[in-house]
């Protein structure tokens, strides 16, 4: 891969993205890569209705670009005319992260050094739309950011580098996303240096170990208490804050924000349940301790540690239970949990 080292002219990079996850990396380019990289322009999604008033608002990437005075383009789709705008910017490289548009082959091929993508998984695992949430829900112990060249197949391009991030036992998608966001900085610092030296190399992915995740919906917040506690706790953490796992307690839909799995009840709780004649059938509320609200599952017990009632705030379990009575012995209805991971791409589902 050729470079611009000989002339000393910085790389002209066009960024394509629509999510604030890219902001630490963009700030690094502006503040730390001076003389090596210049942002020639930014492509992002059009302003969308948001909030109670449904007023069209810019996303975080547009706000960042306007603040720094970079040209901003917000096409509804990538067509030939949009390719002409990219060509006018004379980019050496296009860099994509969480853009939200499928890119045409002719658009991908415009930059001299190609089009690279930052994907928030350790490819070839979790190709697709929800790698952060799915990695936690699958109870992975690590995730990361992968820098790859874009090709037509879904997240299947050759890999240049990756930055590994550990998944902690109490991580929700919110905490993991923040660490992955910061992990883009050292990854891009290495990549830019190698690009300038003409030494950025790529390795093909192994398709035989690839897995796929899909776009999530509100229906994915359903829980089946016949499943093992470890699976339920991981799903609750992975799907917070969106779409959020929801159960019904006393006729009220309660959103869950954090959970932990245990193999056995603590002795005092087991004794109280036995005295009250409460069997540990899946979905049964077993009672509460300082750790949270205990529920029986198909294998072990899940402790609900953060809960939120409609219109309220997400609260630690003990604080929540001071204002919302939940009785031991209540049975929570189970619902089918749709798979989040597959060995092949999921069929497209209309939004």
Average pLDDT, the chain: 95
Supply φ then ψ for residue 106, to 5 degrees. -70, -30
- Whether residue 137 contacts residue 128, with contact meaning beta carbons closer than 8 Å, is answered with no
Per-residue pLDDT tens over the stretch 267-302: 999 999 999 999 999 999 999 999 999 999 999 999
Question: Residue 311: helix, strand or coil by DSSP?
Answer: coil
Angle subtended by helix axes 23-32 and 173-197, to nearest 10: 40
CATH of 218-323, one of 3.10.25.10, 3.40.50.970, 3.40.1160.10, 3.40.50.620: 3.10.25.10
Average pLDDT of span 85-109: 95
Which superfamily does 11-213 belong to?
A: Formyl transferase, N-terminal domain (3.40.50.170)
The length of the chain is: 351
User: Which two structure tokens, joined as six digits, stand for 295?
Assistant: 């529920």
Angle at CA of residue 66, ends 64 and 70, nearest 5°: 100
Q: How far apart are the first and last CA of the chain?
A: 39
Q: Where are the domains of the chain?
A: 11-213, 218-323
Tell me the pLDDT tens digit for each residue of 14-66. 999 999 999 999 999 999 999 999 999 999 999 998 877 788 899 999 999 99
Token pair listed for 280: 């540990």
Residue 14 near residue 94 (C-beta atoms within 8 A)? yes
CA–CA dist 219, 244 (Å, integer): 9
Sign (positive or negative) of CA dihedral 80, 86, 91, 94: negative
Q: Mean per-residue pLDDT for 114-120?
A: 97
């Amino acid at each position: 891969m050729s470079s611009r080292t000989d002339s000393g002219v910085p790389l002209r990079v066009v960024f394509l993205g629509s999510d604030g996850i890219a902001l630490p990396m963009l700030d690094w380019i502006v503040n730390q890569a001076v003389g090596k990289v210049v942002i020639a322009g930014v492509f992002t999604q059009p302003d969308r209705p948001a909030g109670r008033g449904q007023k069209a608002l810019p996303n975080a990437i547009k706000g960042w670009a306007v603040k720094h005075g970079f040209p901003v383009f917000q096409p509804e789709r990538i067509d030939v005319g949009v390719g002409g705008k990219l060509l006018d910017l004379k980019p050496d490289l296009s860099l994509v992260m969480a853009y939200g548009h499928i890119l045409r082959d002719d658009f991908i091929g415009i930059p001299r050094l190609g089009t690279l993508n930052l994907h928030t998984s350790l490819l070839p695992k979790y190709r697709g739309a929800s790698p952060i949430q799915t990695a936690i829900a699958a109870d992975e112990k690590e995730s990361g950011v992968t820098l790859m060249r874009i090709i037509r197949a879904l997240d299947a391009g050759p890999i240049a580098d990756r930055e590994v991030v550990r998944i902690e036992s109490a991580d929700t998608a919110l905490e993991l996303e923040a660490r992955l966001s910061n992990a883009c900085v050292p990854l891009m610092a290495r990549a830019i240096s190698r690009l300038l030296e003409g030494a950025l190399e790529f390795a093909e992915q192994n398709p035989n170990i690839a897995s796929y995740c899909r776009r999530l919906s509100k229906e994915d917040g359903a829980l089946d208490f016949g499943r093992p506690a470890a699976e339920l706790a991981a799903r609750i953490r992975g799907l917070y804050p969106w779409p959020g796992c929801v159960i019904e307690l006393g006729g009220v839909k309660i959103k869950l924000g954090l959970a932990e799995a245990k193999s056995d009840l603590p002795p005092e709780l087991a004794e109280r349940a036995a005295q009250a004649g409460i069997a540990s059938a899946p979905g049964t509320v077993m009672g509460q301790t300082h750790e949270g609200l205990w529920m029986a599952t198909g294998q072990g017990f899940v402790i609900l540690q953060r809960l939120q009632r409609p219109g309220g705030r997400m609260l630690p379990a003990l604080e929540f239970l001071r204002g919302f009575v939940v009785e031991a012995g209540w049975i929570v209805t189970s619902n089918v949990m749709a798979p989040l991971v597959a060995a092949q791409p999921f069929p497209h589902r209309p939004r």
